[in-house]
A and B are shown apart, each in its own frame.
Chain A
């Protein structure tokens, strides 16, 4: 293991840090799949066959690959949203609400603004999604800054507000009034707002990867990114150093919401083609698991989300093979357990804890209002 060599104070090389960073997530994935396999055996099915069916369904055909990419794309965004807030020491449970508001805002621009050329309409719809998400993210940031309300509570609450608001819009003023429709949903977006695919690769996936790189770059190479990390590691010290903690908290939450909202917009414009309640279920919440699996690294979010995409895309094939799709939920939940309690893995494999540095802090505690 790489960390054995880091012992005597010598600063770890880039490669060693990388190896150290991915050890826990990789082991978490492997262990979680083992736990899943044991449960499959107990349930009387064949785990190897089940997993094979899953991977074959997700990666074995062009259609499977498209579906994997489609499933992974919104998860990259929601994972990025959660990871970005984490860097500022904020636990954004509200990615789901930010995402669906972004999804419905993009849908509205997509169906209501007629006569625009695609190169205007599509960016406008994406921007609407980003704006909606950013506003929804900024609210808990502002509440934290000005009133000290903990973002975990406020983001959870705002999820419910977002769900009911979007349900109301989709069943009220923005409802699809075309004849025969009785379902709560918006009209279909116009072709000029559709997000196309390039072969098997949805354009949304490329945007997602681009945003991951951008988020990583901002955090690593800009003053703003430095402030975010400083606030995340120690708000008191950041304030003492003359940084505006409140402003940073609001900005990080707004960007976090923006990323989630963009995810919703991409989902609406690229996959669903309209906003319909229930079609984005779980995307924001899976983002939490993905961000943690990625150890809150924006670049790590991409492979983590792709893994989830494989599981979501392959689950149906697995069912036909005779393995319940619930196994996927168990595997993902076990993964979350292992990455959020890395001490379990460290004890199991006798790994050394990384020395200092920016380790994932799962909770900022109730008293630590910025």
Chain B
């Protein structure tokens, strides 16, 4: 008898679920949900044609407090300011890059943003296959001679951002020892951050001691290993370092959070303003070496809409995040020096010495 009761409960649960779905199943199926949203959102717009922007993430989540999220925020700004209809797909398997781009392309999207250099090849291929769609490849360098009119690579000079971080670190260290806890050197932007950081520090103080450590693991763990990041930061601090630059996703975040538990140790974040994304690190976080992805993506989407889309590489801005609570702790001369360096990096009078491929 009890078996029957259980079966009955399960069946009624199933029926309940089916009923719950019944309401919406009257809508057109498969993609029908999408078009239903479309009409809803565009009914207020003045344009007859909807402007649709899709985003494909790299393997990772849309709310990763880093790349994917910054790019998505740029797309969301396009939704607000340009009335675009937007959606995203999180890539779960690196082999699906093309397929995920295609899902948007086949649904008539106008602009497709792909996030991360790993999607570069798939994006270029799809740009060729769908010449009427604009593609924005975040962190995807377009090699000379391979540019496509409907594809723009949003790239950043990470070495310049790293240079500023290094110059800041060298000016606030008391021990004369600074450290960097990094994701893997398999990823070129990480190398650029590191080289820039070291060059920036030596620009201020040629004799400074720098302890830079790459995560020894593969791509699948190098950016998701906060424990290693924390342990490495601790090691560097034990060796006398008092500024920690954490560059490498969650691994770097682990280093920042570890540094926050020490008195008199500063830390510097990466990619986005980590004051906002890693509040646990606030006790030590003086600034972050930022790639301004959100405005870069938004600007490119806007240009696509206005018909002034640039092909080839589009260099986005880099810079240091605000000092937040450390605003008063950082001496004015340090701020002036950073400003001077920032200008020097922009007009080319200061070079980071980083030369990829060299």
Contacts and interface: CB of A to CB of B under 8 A. Distances in A.
Given A49-B24, A183-B117, A281-B59, A37 B89 contact: no
A312 B25 CA distance: 24
B356 interface: yes
A272 B122 CA distance: 12
Contacts of A271: 95
B95 A319 contact: no
Interface in A15-54: 34, 37-38, 41, 46-49, 52-53
Interface of A is mostly: helix
Contacts of B49: none
Interface stretch (B10-18, B253-261, B311-319): B10-18
B305 to A, nearest CB: 22
Interface string A40-71: 01000011110011001000100000010011
B227 to A, nearest CB: 15
A180 B90 contact: no
Q: How many of chain B's residues touch chain A, expressed as a range?
A: 35 or more
A278 interface: yes
A226 B31 CA distance: 52
B99 A67 contact: yes
B184 to A, nearest CB: 8
B43 interface: no
A344 to B, nearest CB: 13
Contacts of A52: 29-30
B186 A349 contact: no
B34 interface: yes
A34 B9 CA distance: 13
A49 B103 contact: no
B306 interface: no
B31 A277 contact: no
B48 interface: no
Contact of B216 (A71, A164, A321): A164
B52 to A, nearest CB: 12
A107 B42 CA distance: 49
Given A182-B117, A277-B220, A316-B103, 11 more contacts: A41-B20, A47-B20, A48-B17, A183-B117, A277-B186, A281-B93, A282-B93, A320-B103, A320-B107, A324-B90, A325-B92
13 contacts: A41-B17, A47-B20, A48-B18, A48-B25, A49-B33, A53-B30, A56-B30, A182-B356, A184-B219, A279-B94, A316-B99, A319-B90, A350-B2
Query: Lowest 6 A-B CB distances belong to which pairs?
Result: A48-B21, A180-B143, A163-B218, A167-B218, A184-B186, A278-B219
